[in-house]
Structure 1
Amino acid sequence: MKIIGIKIKILTILLVGFTSLAKAQSGYQIGEIVTDFSLNNVDGKMVSLANYPNAKGFFVVFTCNHCPYAKLYEQRIMDLDKKYAAKGYPVIAINPNDPKAYSEDSFDNMIKRSEEKKYTFPYLFDETQNVAKVYGAKATPHVYLLQKTKKGLEVAYIGAIDNDTEDVNPDGKIRYAENAVDAITNNKTPKITQTKAIGCSIKWKNEK
């Protein structure tokens, strides 16, 4: 009986391990509850989602310094925070890149970028890249809209900020991220909950 009990425990441990591995590989899906993180901000302080008890949700945006797409969307990320932070949905920007791949993405350069552009939101360094892996982030920028519910912070939208990367077609622009949060604040389900994030691939450590 003891041997059977040990085998069950081993199988349970393996199952939990495989589940965690699958989560790291696939990332969060719409409707899932996220776990909190604690990452170093450009001001030297550790930041968690729990630091915002009055927030109704968040725009968690994986972005960086060097990527041309991240630069194209930089002002729009700043505009998201300017428009929605006061409504309870602040931006939390996270740089997941390995700075050895692009020195422009180093923590020191993150500080400089934040100061130059006068970011009104945290700019966090995912040094271990664990947060990006858990979320399933693939590109910079990659947006995850979180909504606070009784169960926790639920993923409401994943993908691009809009469909106009070059920002040249205001009349035909579909503002995915804004439309999603506007729907939520009106107690509606977003019509579009997932799109493809257009941007540079995340620069993973030990990547060949």
Structure 2
Amino acid sequence: MKKIVKICTVVVFVIVSSAFINSKTVHGHGYKIGDVVEDFSLKNIDGKMLSLADYKDSKGFILIFTCNTCPFSVAYEDRIIALNKKYASKGYPVIAINPNNPNTKPGDSFEAMQKRAKEKEFTFPYLVDKGQKVYPKFGAKKTPHNYVLQKTKKGLVVKYIGAIDDSSRNPEAVKEKYLENAVKALLNGKEIELKETKAIGCSIKV
């Protein structure tokens, strides 16, 4: 009897351990503050492939995982356009990436992305994460999920992760501009006071 119990315990442990390992493998934890980011090559809405390395003169990036279909992402579009207008010329351009599976969300197809970008007159790249290979590396969970990256001697480093500000649906109610404060600090050579916040939005569709 004791032998059977022991065997059952081992089997349960192996199953639980395997599930945990598979969960980590599939979902991952993504980049943390201070991690060096691996470059990628994704298709932009103009049909051309784009990498972060293409931006030779940038000081860093405002990287945003967003989409067409999430109400939170839509509510942030004008603010994202404003961020690019204000900070691209200062060395921190916006790079938007759609991480959603278009088979699950047809409204996030490449053609729909092109249409939305044209309607809103996006002045920044809007890339498609084909095969959903990039967003897991960053650990993105929501749309929008936002990152500030800075070029350093050791590579492109994560400096901020989280929300754009403290009012996901109503831009008039914004009191704290988390992402903009992070970019301002970097431009002024200062330490970012709030490096991480909770991203508010829709779950990424797989």
**TM-score, normalised via structure 1 length:** 0.85
Pairwise CA distance, 1:168: 4.9
- Cα distance, 1:143 vs structure 2: 0.4
Amino acid at match of 2:55: Y
Give the letter aligned to residue 74 of structure 1. Answer: E
Point out the structure with max Rg over C-alpha: 2
1:126 aligns with 2:129: yes
Aligned counterparts, 1:190-201, within 5 A: 190-201=192-203
2:78 is the alignment partner of 1:79: no
Which secondary structure does the structure 1 equivalent of 2:183 belong to? Answer: helix
Aligned residue pairs, count:
184
Question: Secondary structure at the residue paired with 1:79?
Answer: helix
d(CA) in 1 for partners of 2:34 and 2:124?
Answer: 25
* Identical pairs, percent: 57
Paired residue type of 1:95: N
Within 5 A, what are the aligned runs for 1:5-154?
Answer: 25-154=28-157
**CA pair 22-147 structure 1, distance change in 2 beyond 3 A:** farther
| CA apart distance, 1:23 | 9.6
Contact residue 57 and residue 145 of structure 1 kept, 8 A: yes
Q: Following TM superposition, where does structure 1 have runs of at least 4 consecutive aligned residues deviating by more than 3 angstroms?
A: 21-24
The answer for unaligned runs of 5 or more in structure 1 is 1-17
Partner of 1:161: 164
**What's the CA shift for 1:22?**
5.6
User: In the aligned structure 2, how far is the partner of 1:62 from the partner of 1:118?
Assistant: 18
SS at match of 1:97: coil
Q: Residue 77 and residue 103 in structure 1: after superposition, are their counterparts in 2 closer, same or farther (change >3 A)?
A: same
For residues 168 and 53 of structure 1, the distance between their equivalents in structure 2, rounded to whole angstroms, comes to: 33
Whether the 8 Å contact between 1:23 and 1:134 is mirrored in structure 2 is no
CA distance in 2, matches of 1:93, 1:131: 12
| Residue 182 of structure 2 is aligned to residue 180 of structure 1 | yes
Tell me if structure 2 keeps the 8 A contact 1:146–1:154. yes
Deviation at 1:127? 1.1
What is residue 5 of structure 2 aligned with on the other side? none
**1:24·1:135 contact (CA, 8 Å) conserved in 2?**
no
Q: Give TM-score, length-normalised by structure 2.
A: 0.86
